[in-house]
Amino acid sequence: MFIINELSEIVNKEMISFHMPGHKKGKIYEKLGYINVLENLYKMDTTEIIGTDNLHSPEGIIKVSQENTAMVFKSDYTYYLINGSSCGIQSAIMSVCNPKSKIIVNRDCHQSVINGCILGDVDIEYIPCEICKNTNILKGVNVINVIDIIDKNLDAKAILLTYPTYYGMTYDLEYICNYAHSKNMVVIVDEAHGAHLGLSEKLPKTALEQGADVVIQSTHKTLPSFTQSSMIHVQEDRVDLDKISNMLRITESSSPSYLLLSSLELAVDIYENKGKELMEELLDNIQNFKNNVNKNLEIYSTNDKTKVFISAKNIGLTGYELENILRKKYNIQVELSNYYGVLLICTIGNSTQDFISLETALDDIVIKEFKSTKLDNIKYPVDIPQKILTPREAFYKTKKSVKIYDSIGKVCGESIVPYPPGINIISPGEIISKEIIDYLKFCSSKGMVISGLKDMTLNFIEIIDLEHI
């Protein structure tokens, strides 16, 4: 048994988790006394039989549970999702935008947004994203840019924004919602990283509080539910609930997991009854950690204080190196690393001891790994490439591999995502520039992670074969 053996080893080693899922290896369930429920969970794995209701047409226990959750999260209607936020995002796009229509989207969107547009044959107009020069942290959109793009694309059906960003940055979503509504656009928010925001006044306001119409949250990322369990919250005024239900019947399994549904209910129970108190404790722990952390390291301020970005560039370590050292030598796993640093996802599942262990490990790393050479800064190409095909048109075209420098001026056939900052530097259907190729070559020479490429050695790149259009 390969998967089970590796996972058992991680469990036995009692690794400290600063990554998703938010229950942190179940520690929160143990702490709050939910273990009796969980011990029997495997026996609760069932299907639609008498009494268990049906996620796709709820009339019984699932209906009541979703209604309670809608009250807790202050939405008109809440759907439980068992295929992650990805299926929620795709369903939201396809239920609001008809084929051949247009949606406005932040460039640093998640892949599921582009996939939703491929499935639904929806064209995308991108809003450039703001990036911190020193860290490549994604800061979100600039409101002035958003207004400008809305004004230039009044035929768009909807605007979809990531809020907060993966790195915990936010912006004035309320202003954008009001403006988009005044132009008859629906506002869809990918709040995959913000399911916990309602737990404290010290955190940014939720997307629903700011007027969004459809909000998709990965409950599993920042609250204590199982991986792949998510939610959509809907405010009914501008959205057709029947269309969303129909789309979810297409994008989700017809045999929804009752384990995932149960874990969503557990997360809501914890959120409602203990969440605020636990969030206060977490925010205190994070503040103490920031006060005490070794001064040779830099911690960047994020609007969502539960996201912590630590850079060791002043001691000459890349984020990739820091992630590896923390995991291999100190048994601590972070959420992600980029060239400049590592990102922690801290949730109400983390204990005070987790932060003390991290602080001690970092002190040790500064002493043992100090390098006198500092890291160079790198400049990310921010211009959005020219698009000549919609995501769906590009998806169905024939592709061919060419030598990487021969691809300049050609139409890209793959989605290429370098970390940092973790967004599509180029998408299928867009024109490849020399600046982009130079950046990719630079990334690869520094050992950065680049995902999406068919040829990971970066000698060849997939382009769209225009002769076969």
Ligand X SMILES: Cc1ncc(COP(=O)(O)O)c(C=O)c1O
| Residues forming the site for ligand X (CB under 6 A) | 84-86, 110, 112, 162, 166, 190, 192-193, 218, 230
CB of 442 to ligand X, least distance (A): 25
CA pair distance 217, 230, nearest whole angstrom: 6
| Smaller CB separation from ligand X, 230 or 350 | 230
Least distance CB 419 / ligand X (angstroms): 12
Q: In what order do the strands lie in the sheet with 341-345?
A: 298-300, 307-311, 341-345, 336-337
CA–CA separation, 99 and 93 (whole Å): 10
Nearer to ligand X, 194 or 413 (CB): 194
C-alpha count within 13 angstroms, C-beta hemisphere, residue 15? 19
Q: Which one, 73 or 166, has the nearer CB to ligand X?
A: 166
445-449: long-range contacts (C-beta < 8 A, 24 or more apart)?
A: 446/318, 446/339, 446/378, 447/318, 447/320, 448/320, 448/338, 448/339, 448/418, 448/419, 448/420, 449/320, 449/418, 449/419
Q: How far is the CB of 193 from ligand X (least distance, A)?
A: 6
Following CA atoms 291, 292, 295, 299 in sequence, which dihedral angle do they give, to the nearest 10 degrees? -50
Contact, 380 vs 135, CB < 8 A? no
Closest to ligand X by CB, 252 vs 265, is: 252
CB of 352 to ligand X, least distance (A): 27
**Which residue, 162 or 210, has its beta carbon nearer to ligand X?**
162
In angstroms, what is the minimal distance from the CB of 360 to ligand X? 30
Residue 158 CB, shortest distance to ligand X, in Å, is 16
Q: What is the 3-state secondary structure (H, E, C) of 180-248?
A: HHHCCCEEEEECCCCCCHHHCCCCCCCCCCCCCCEEEECHHHHCCCCCCCEEEEECHHHCCHHHHHHHH
- CB-nearer residue toward ligand X: 289 or 419: 419
A 10 A CB-CB count for 199 gives 23
Select 195 or 325, whichever has its Cβ closest to ligand X. Answer: 195
The nearer residue to ligand X, 164 or 319, going by C-beta atoms, is 164
Element (H, E) at 271: helix 258-273
Query: Among candidates 302, 320, 267, which has minimal Cα distance to 21?
Result: 267
The residue (of 116 and 428) whose beta carbon lies closer to ligand X is: 116
Stretch (H or E) spanning 93:
helix 84-96
Kindly state the helix (H) or strand (E) to which residue 173 belongs, with its residue range: helix 173-182
Question: Closest approach of Cβ 88 to ligand X, in Å?
Answer: 8
Instruction: Report, in Å, the least distance between residue 424 CB and ligand X.
Output: 13
Query: Residue 162 Cβ, how far from ligand X at the closest point, in Å?
Result: 5
Q: Which two tokens stand for residue 401?
A: 């591999």
Distance CA(293)–CA(216), nearest Å, equals 34
Residue nearest to ligand X (CB): 84
